Structure 1
Amino acid sequence: MTEARLAAHLWVAAYRARLAQANIPAYVLARGDDTAGAIAVKCAHLDGTAALWMREWDMDSDTRPWVAAVRGPERDIDAAIARQRDRDRDLWVVEIESRDGTTLLDQDGLY
């Protein structure tokens, strides 16, 4: 089954609201296209490391799960984001601060 796609700005707003309910700080680092922009989530672990979460196609189930595309030193994650934004100006980037890596991206409704 192909999943319905929510406008990017609505998804980001809903995600930030859910993060706020969980007391996880979140910031929009880059605003992309309101309707069709892809979304990247940077999870800063507050120890100099981070993870960059992106959605990827799972052809077996025809879904787009969130996966940690890159993990490592925060400066490397920031460089990866900059490269991605150079290629895709419509990309949204949301940064969250979570020492234990909690992103809430695995919860129902955040697909």
Structure 2
Amino acid sequence: MRLTSEIWVSAYIRRCQAAFVQAVVVRRGDAAAGAIFISIDLLDGNVCLYGPAPTGITGSDTDRRWVRCLEGSAVASEEARVFLARQLNFDSDLWILEVEDSAGRHFLDDALVET
């Protein structure tokens, strides 16, 4: 059984706080099954954006898997905002988390799928 989005987000925020990294919910989505996007603000005007891995490449029905949403290691903050705005037009139930970390740590560990 997969954790609800709300529980997963709460645990992720605590994981960031345990590493003394600021993480906030910018947009709250559907508590049960809203898609989650994580924006890592590098504090230099650039961000790394992560979102749910497409169905079929995850290899698991119970664990959340993640992919980098935009090409390259980091993109301008405005490019990430445009991407997220398009996603919101498609799915109004999504969550947006913002993490501020100049080191670019995403805390997704083995759940990150390299495509």
Query: 1:68 maps to which residue?
Result: 68
Amino acid at match of 1:102: R
Conserved 8 A contact 1:58-1:65: no
> What 5-or-longer segments of structure 2 have no aligned partner?
none
RMSD over equivalenced CA pairs, Å: 2.0
Instruction: Give the SS at the match of 2:93.
Output: coil
Q: Does 1:104 align with 2:107?
A: yes
Compute the TM-score of the two structures, normalised by the length of structure 2. Answer: 0.83
Q: 1:66 Cα deviation (Å)?
A: 1.3
Q: 1:81 Cα deviation (Å)?
A: 0.9
> What 5-or-longer segments of structure 1 have no aligned partner?
none
Q: 1:60 Cα deviation (Å)?
A: 5.6
Q: Does 1:87 align with 2:90?
A: yes
Runs of 4+ in 1 over 2 A off after TM superposition: 57-61
Aligned with 1:31 (options 23, 28, 32) = 28
Identity percentage of aligned residues = 35
How far does the alpha carbon of each residue in 1:6-60 deviate from its partner, in whole angstroms, 9 at most, with x for none?
1000000000011000011011111100001010000110011101101213736
